[in-house]
C-alpha cells in the first residue's frame, strides 16, 4: 500500500464521502474504498463518448490554477477560491 498526502480540506471531504457511502451501502466504506468507488464512477461516466468530449471541453475552458497555487489554496484558511476568471466567466467552486 502507498500513502498519499492530501490537503486537510480534501481529506475532510473524503471522510464525508466515505460516511455518505456507508449510509447508502448500509455497510462500512473506508476512505480508500471511497476513492476506489469515485474512480470507478469517473471511469464509468467518461466511458460515454459524449460525456468525455463535454468534460474535455470544460477542462480546456476552465480557469485552472497551477498545482502549486491550488495546493496552497487548499492548505490555507477557509476563504473563497481566488478568481482568475475574465469578465463574464463564473469563478470555480469547490
Q: What is the pTM of this model?
A: 0.65
Closest by alpha carbon to 62, among 35, 82, 88, 91? Answer: 91
- With a CB cutoff of 8 Å and minimum separation 6, the contacts of 19 are none
How would you class 11 by CB atoms within 10 Å of its CB: exposed for 0-12, middle for 13-18, buried for 19 or more?
middle
Q: Which three cell numbers stand for residue 77?
A: 484558511
pLDDT of residue 72: 79
pLDDT digit string (tens) for the chain, length 94 residues? 888 888 888 899 999 999 999 999 999 999 999 999 999 999 998 899 999 999 999 999 998 888 888 877 776 665 555 555 443 444 444 4
Amino acid at each position: 500500500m502507498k500513502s498519499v498526502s492530501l490537503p486537510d480540506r480534501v481529506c475532510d471531504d473524503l471522510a464525508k464521502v466515505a460516511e455518505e457511502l456507508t449510509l447508502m451501502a448500509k455497510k462500512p466504506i473506508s476512505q480508500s474504498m471511497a476513492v476506489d468507488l469515485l474512480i470507478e464512477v469517473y471511469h464509468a461516466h467518461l466511458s460515454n463518448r459524449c460525456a468525455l468530449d463535454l468534460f474535455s471541453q470544460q477542462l480546456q475552458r476552465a480557469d485552472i490554477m497551477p498545482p502549486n497555487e491550488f495546493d496552497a489554496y487548499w492548505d490555507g484558511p477557509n476563504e473563497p477560491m481566488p478568481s482568475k476568471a475574465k469578465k463574464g466567466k463564473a469563478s470555480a467552486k469547490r
